[in-house]
Structure 1
Amino acid sequence: MAKPRAFISFDFDYNKTDRDLFVGQMKNSKTPFEIEDWSSKHKLPQKEWENLINQKINKCNMLIVLVGKYTHNATGVKKEITFSHNNNVPVFGIYIDGATKTTELPSGLQRNRTINWEWHQISEKIDLCMNEGKNK
């Protein structure tokens, strides 16, 4: 089976370092899965960003939202979640940067699909996503 493709959604203004750490750990640790990161690596003009990101998300198996303390205010994250729903791409979130179960979530991200940064839980969510939405 091919590696799952994931779009990593994060608050570019506050959590770029957390995103880099997450992807680095994912690639360099002994995680129980392999995954490709298709997220945008730099800022783009709005219209170009929307078209590119929607296309990328549509080509992915899942959207992983890194949820920090201010992610609920990130308009880009909200749009990425909307693109994901529109393309039938499963979504789950991971608390980062001190965020907890009481942290406000971005619109469209469910609390019961948001977990702590623990690799066994992440692996379980990836397995779940690979049997949902467009992956059925």
Structure 2
Amino acid sequence: MKKRVFISFDFDNNLSLKNLLVGQAKNPDSPFEISDWSLKEAAPEWDWMYKAEQKIKCSDIVVVIAGTYTYCASGVKKEIALARKHDKKVVQIKPIGTNPIRVYDAGVMYDWTWENLKKLLS
């Protein structure tokens, strides 16, 4: 059974990276699946938090895409807090050749390689 992944990312700066991870989940040998659960519409914070919490609760793991400004993205911090509240494993991945600041309480940071994804998400 494939792991259900919730992606936490800096919407303003890393949407293309999120889309890349969604694409990788479609590989035939992918051990994980991603329902595109990004909240696309602007919503009051209480509504956004409720929807994010429901989606995180249905996931097996939260993957934080660590970009240049992810460490200070307020939505990412809130999603991590929700993941911790529901005892979900949280890991960070960073694009090869980058050195982003680690997101607080978001778990170990790994290089974003196909091999690492398969190991982390199997």
Asked if TM exceeds 0.5, the reply is yes
The AA in structure 2 aligned to 1:84 is A
Output the CA distance in 1 between the equivalents of 2:3 and 2:115.
Answer: 16
Give the equivalent residue in structure 2 for 1:106.
Answer: 103
Which runs of no fewer than 5 residues in structure 1 stay unpaired?
128-136
Give the equivalent residue in structure 2 for 1:33.
Answer: 31
The AA in structure 1 aligned to 2:71 is H
Give the equivalent residue in structure 2 for 1:18.
Answer: 17
Contact 1:32/1:120 (<8 A) preserved: no
Contact 2:7/2:64 (<8 A) preserved: yes
The offset of 1:96, in angstroms, is 2.8
Question: How many residues get paired?
Answer: 121
Output the CA distance in 1 between the equivalents of 2:97 and 2:68.
Answer: 7
Which runs of no fewer than 5 residues in structure 2 stay unpaired?
none
More helix by percentage:
1
Task: State the TM-score, normalized to the length of structure 2.
Answer: 0.88
Give the equivalent residue in structure 2 for 1:5.
Answer: 4
Percent identity over the alignment?
30
- 1:44-82 Cα distance to aligned partner (Å, 9 max, x none): 311111000011101110001000011001000011111
**Alignment of 1:115 onto 2:114:** no
Structure 1 SS opposite 2:32 = coil
The offset of 1:39, in angstroms, is 2.9
Task: State the TM-score, normalized to the length of structure 1.
Answer: 0.80
Output the CA distance in 2 between the equivalents of 1:97 and 1:119.
Answer: 11
User: Where do 1:1-136 residues align within 5 Å?
Assistant: 2-27=1-26, 29-45=27-43, 46-96=45-95, 99-100=98-99, 103-110=100-107, 113-127=108-122
The offset of 1:107, in angstroms, is 1.9
The offset of 1:126, in angstroms, is 1.5
Structure 1 pair 74–97 and aligned structure 2 pair: CA distance change class (3 A): farther
Structure 2 SS opposite 1:21 = helix
